[in-house]
Amino acid sequence: MWQIFIGSLVLSLIHAAIPNHWLPMIAIGKTEKWTLKETLTATIITGVSHTISTILIGIIVGLIGIKLSSSYNLVIDYVAPSILIAIGTLYIISDIKNREHHHHTKLENTNIPSFTKSKIGILVSLSVAMFLTPCVEIEAYYFQAGTIGWKGIIIVSAVYFSATVLLMLLFVYVGFKGTQGLRSHTLEHHEKLITGIVLIGLGILAFFVNL
């Protein structure tokens, strides 16, 4: 249980810290002259939308893990950890191949809806965009969590939801106050590398724990 909790927490914190999760909210809030309260409220709405789609897909992946683990101990001992390691390796390879194509994202280039006259229109468009872009990286961990049953799925979902929304709020709050140091280019442009390393580490840990 602690392994699932810590693993999901680490992955959730990494992805919530990526600037494209919270930087658009700061940009839009400043542009539309929203108050801090209005900007944080919008962050909650879009954050919840983003996490819901990720959790829905994760539950499906987790159910597959539950179904397989109930019939084959091999899944728990070898297959699930191997999947984490394999996906982590693919992320690292992808980061290496795309390293030369990374470009620094400027605040003024942030995707902001063109119909900025309507606050509701902005929130709807952002919520839909966030809903349609779930964090795929954490879905692999749902499979690992599913091998210990519904408790594992619930743990990952609760941790992911709480950590993502709360950290988004924190970054938006500090960023709205004028702190520019939160724009981590290393984290933004090497998300796949960091995620890959974490997934491989979790896979290795799961393998030795199950032994």
- Positive or negative, the CA dihedral 197, 5, 82, 208 is positive
pLDDT digits (tens, 9 = 90+) for 171-204: 999 888 764 444 455 555 666 777 677 768 777 7
Among residues 178, 137, 132, which one has the least CA distance to residue 12?
A: 137
- pTM, 2 dp: 0.68
In the predicted model, is pLDDT for residue 162 greater than 90? yes
* List of residues 6+ apart from 127 with CB closer than 8 A: 45, 46, 49
Most confident range, picked from 5-19, 38-52, 99-113: 38-52
Tokens of 112: 């902001």
- Give residue 154's pLDDT band: very low, low, confident or very high (50, 70, 90): very high
Q: What is the mean pLDDT of residues 66-92?
A: 68
Query: pLDDT of 83-129, one tens digit each?
Result: 768 877 877 887 787 765 554 444 344 444 444 446 787 788 878 87
Amino acid at 204: I
Give the whole-angstrom CA distance, residue 28 versus residue 117: 11
What confidence tier does 6 reach under pLDDT thresholds 50, 70, 90?
Answer: confident
**In this predicted model, what pLDDT tens digit does every residue of 122-140 receive, in sequence order?**
788 878 877 887 777 787 7
- Kind and range of the H or E element at 179? none
